[in-house]
Amino acid sequence: MLSDKLDGNIVQDYQEIGVSFIDALTGLVNYGFFHMTMEREISRCERYGVTFTLGLVGIDSFKNYNKKNGLLAGEQLLKNIARVIEKKIRQVDLAARYSGDTFAILFMESDPDEAVIAAERIRTAVLNLPEQTTVSIGLAGYARESANAESIFQKASEALLKSKSTGKNCVSLFQKPETSPSDQPARVLIVDDIEKNLKLLEAMLLPLKYEVIRATSGRDALCVLDTTDIDLVLLDIMMPEMDGFEVCRRIKNTPRTQMVPVILVTALDDLESKIKGIEAGADDFLTKPPNRPELIARTKSLVKMKRLNNSFTSIENVLFSLARAVEAKDRYTQGHTERVSSLSLALGKKMGLSSQDMTALSYGGVMHDIGKIGVPNHILNKPGHLDKNEWAVMQQHSDIGYRIGLPLEKNLGLALQVIRSHHEKMDGSGYPDGLTGENIPLAARIVGIVDIYDALTTDRPYRKAMAKEKATAILLEEADQGKLDKRIVQELIDLLSEDGPETLA
C-alpha cells in the first residue's frame, strides 16, 4: 500500500492546507510531496551516513505520441508507465509524477550503481508495453558536498538530458567531467571506399595532431557517428551502396549529429553536384586531390566552429537545468515552465510569428522564472499570499534572471527580453521597468499572459486550480482594464476553445 511508506508528518502538513498530495491520473504522489520527502531523506543521510539516489524517468517523444494517438491514449500511457515503475521499485522506494511526462524516483539507501540496475529494469519493462514506447532515465546520487534538493535535482536533470540527447531509451548517471572537451584532441572521421585515399587524407591531417577515425562505407560512417563524438567529417561522394550525398543528408537530419560539420571531398567539380551537396546540408567542399594547405585551413576552421557550438550548447543546457532547479525550489509549480513554453509556442504559431519570435517563446517560456533561484525558499513556498516586503523580494526575480542570462545575450536573443519583461503590463503597472504598450516585446507579452493562465489553472497552497472558463474571464477582465494585450488574450481563448489546454501541454 502507498500509505504504508509515506511520512505521516508530511501527510499531515498537506491535510492541514487541504491540498491533495496524490496525482489524480497516475496515483503516485505529486511533486510537492516528493520534494518534502527528499528533503527529509537528505537530513537523514547527513545524520546517519546513509545514501540514496534520485532518478528522473522521461517518456521519449511523448508529445508526438499524444499528437498521433490522442490525449486519452497519452493518459493511458502515463498510467501504464506509472504501474511499471511501481512494480519495479522496492517497497521502501518512492515514485512521483514529476511533471507532465516525467516521473521521479527516490531509491532509498541505494548508491548510484545499484540504482542503475533498478533503472535498467524499468527501462526494459517499458519496452514490453503495448504502446511500443521508450523512456530515458537520468540518475544522481546523494553527495555530502552538494547535499541539497536543488543540486541533486539539477544533476539528475542533466543526466536525463544526456540520455535523451544521446539516442534516448537509455540510462545515464550524472558524472562530474574530469576534463573539458576542449582539452581533448578533435576527432575527425574520414570516409572513403578507397584505401589509398584514406591514407592520403590521414597523412595530410597528421600535423594537426587530431584523432583520425576511418570508415570505408557510408553505413560504417553512420555507425561511428552513432557511438562516437565527432568534430568533423571528411566525406567522399562516389561510394557504392550509399553515396556521400545520402550520408550527409542522414547526418544533418539526425538531432545528435546535425551540428557536426561535413566537408564533401569529391572529384566532381560541376555546379549541379555542389548544389546537390548544399541541399544535403554540406558545410564545405574540397576537390580531389585536395590541396594540403587548403584542407588544413578548412579543417581547422570547421573544428573550431564545432567546438564553439559545443560550448554554446553546454551553456544553454546549464541554463535549462538551472530553470528546472528553480522548479525544484518551488514545490507548487511542477511542469510550469514546460507548459508555458509549449502553450506559448502554440499561440505564437497561431498568430503567425517569425522564427526569431518563436525561438524566443521556446527559450523564454522555459527560462522566464530562472531568476527565482535568487528568491528564498520561505517566500517561494509560503502557504498563503505574500506580504508587501515578501512581494518586493519576489519581484526581483525578473531582473535576477535577466542578469543571469546577460552574458549570453547574443545566444539568447529575444528570449532575454522575455525573461526580463514577462511581468510588464500594458498600462505601465508591471515590473521591473514599468514598460507600456508596444514597448513591451511581443514575445514577452505572450509568455506573460500564458504564465498568468497557467498559474490560475493549477493548484496553489492557498487555493485549488480554477476552471479554464474562470481563468480566461480573469484574463479578459485585465485586458479590459488595459493591463494585458487584448488581442493576445483573445487569440489564446480562441486557441483553447479549438484544442483544449491539455493537448497543448
Kindly report, residue by residue over 81-94, the tens digit of the pLDDT.
Answer: 999 999 999 999 99
Comparing CA positions, the residue from 228, 230, 236 lying closest to residue 200 is: 236
For a pLDDT cut of 90, what percent of the chain falls above it?
A: 36
Phi, psi angle pair for 36, to nearest 5°: -65, -40
35-41 average pLDDT score: 87
Q: Are 471 and 29 in contact (CB under 8 A)?
A: no
Kindly report, residue by residue over 115-143, the tens digit of the pLDDT.
Answer: 999 999 999 999 999 988 999 999 998 87
Cis amide linkage into residue 289, ω under 30° from 0? yes
Q: Are 172 and 82 in contact (CB under 8 A)?
A: no
Q: Are 36 and 122 in contact (CB under 8 A)?
A: no
With bands split at pLDDT 50, 70 and 90, how would you rate the model's confidence at 54?
A: very high
With bands split at pLDDT 50, 70 and 90, how would you rate the model's confidence at 28?
A: very high
Query: Lowest-confidence range among 239-253, 301-315, 343-357, 434-448?
Result: 301-315
Query: Lowest-confidence range among 80-89, 164-173, 352-361?
Result: 164-173
The total number of residues shown for the chain amounts to: 505
- The answer on pLDDT for 64 being more than 90 is no
pTM over 0.75: no
Kindly report, residue by residue over 302-348, the tens digit of the pLDDT.
Answer: 888 887 666 555 555 556 666 666 655 555 555 677 788 889 999 99
**Mean pLDDT for the chain overall:** 84
